Amino acid sequence: MTTNQITKPREFTKTSTATDVTEGVDLAGKNIVVTGINSGLGLETMRVLTSRGAHIIGTARTKEKAATAAASIDGKVTTVICELSDFGSVRQCADQVNALDLPIDGLICNAGIMALPKLELANGFEQQFNTNHLGHFILVNRLLDSIKRADQGRIVMLSSLAHKMAPLGGILFDNLDGSKWYKDWPFYGQSKLANMLTALALSARLEGSSATANAVHPGIIRTNLSRNMGGIQGVLFNNPISGWFVGKMLGTKTIAQGAATQCYVATAPELSTANGKYFADCSEERPSRYGQSVDLAEQLWSFSYDAVKPYIE
């Protein structure tokens, strides 16, 4: 039975890398699903976890991207296509994973998009909410039985410090298509808050099982996640020279450091009973008041389930 206790945590810092936090952790025989393995945090997560013996079931938007990423590392990888913005693709991905007939020891919901400068819609929803939240929501639900089959299955939702940028009310249930108004960062923050609330709602549903769900903030990292940023912020952040200065001011992490928290939460023996928590820099952190709201988490869960029910059941 899971509890909310964290016992005997090891000491890590903001500069700890994914290699550091998994040192001495034997993942032989473990099957871990990672979304977005083609670059950035997903690629580093796959590289490090396979080096510890894990079998990674890695997703990318195309067969070519997944295959290229898998071929770039030494380790056991099974690749699956998953376009998170396409609910049919997510369902097909989950069905392929389930067809492997393996217990899933970890599901790291890593992939995402950030700060789209203009409103984009998919499936009737603003694209960041659609991709970052609803796509992963379908995947989590369809893989849940395989996760519960594991000795201690862990679901890790990549949220962000940006969840604190979510608009007033947290989740704009009456404006999820952006028809009333849209701004890039508040809507990105909303999607990351949704990831956090999904972990919170899941943690309650997993009580009484050996599975857990937690959310993490990886840090501020210059990866291709910033490719969609518009305006002066996009120019400054994506330019190699100005980006370096901006990074110094913001305290950005390297990709190796950014992948640390999700690898830690997904594998650390001392976190086997951590459930419904939020982590940053490999330590438990306090989320925003919206991120702690059980009522909001339940409202979002019910809304999301109804919205994508045909792809879950």
For the chain, the domains span: 18-308
Would residue 311 show up in a list of annotated catalytic residues for this protein?
A: no
Q: How confident is the model at residue 10 (pLDDT cuts 50, 70, 90)?
A: confident
| pLDDT the model gives residue 254 | 93
Provide the pLDDT confidence category of residue 234 given band limits of 50, 70 and 90. Answer: very low
- As a whole number of angstroms, the distance between CA 113 and CA 129 comes to 9
Q: What pLDDT, on the 0 to 100 scale, is given for residue 244?
A: 38
Secondary structure letter of residue 127 according to DSSP? H
**Rounded CA separation 186/98 (Å):** 35
From the candidates 182, 188, 264, 290, which is the catalytic residue? 182
Average pLDDT, the chain: 91
| 12 has a pLDDT exceeding 70 | yes
Burial of residue 102 (CB within 10 Å: 0-12, 13-18, 19+) is middle
- 253-312 pLDDT, tens digit per residue, is 999 999 999 999 999 999 999 999 999 999 999 999 999 999 999 999 999 999 999 999
pLDDT above 60 for 149: yes
Per DSSP, 117 falls in state S
pLDDT at position 225, please? 52
Q: Which residues pair with 215 in a beta bridge?
A: 157, 278
Question: Counting beta carbons within 10 angstroms of the beta carbon of residue 285, is it exposed (0 to 12), middle (13 to 18) or buried (19 or more)?
Answer: middle
Residue type, 104: I
**pLDDT exceeds cutoff 90 at 249:** no
CA nearest 32: which of 24, 40, 22?
A: 22
Q: What is the average per-residue pLDDT within 31-36?
A: 98
Q: Give pLDDT, residue 224.
A: 54
- Report the C-alpha gap between 92 and 117 in whole angstroms: 30
Residue 238 scores a pLDDT above 50: no
Question: What letter represents residue 230's amino acid?
Answer: G
pLDDT (average), residues 190-194: 98
52 within 8 A of 25, measured Cβ to Cβ: yes
Q: What does the pLDDT average to over 8-26?
A: 91
- Find residue 58's DSSP bridge partners: 34, 79
The CATH classification of domain 18-308, taken from the options 3.40.50.720, 3.40.47.10, 3.40.630.30, 3.40.50.300 = 3.40.50.720
Percentage of residues of the chain with pLDDT beyond 70: 88
> Residue 242 pLDDT > 60, yes or no?
no
Mean pLDDT, range 178-203, rounded to an integer: 98
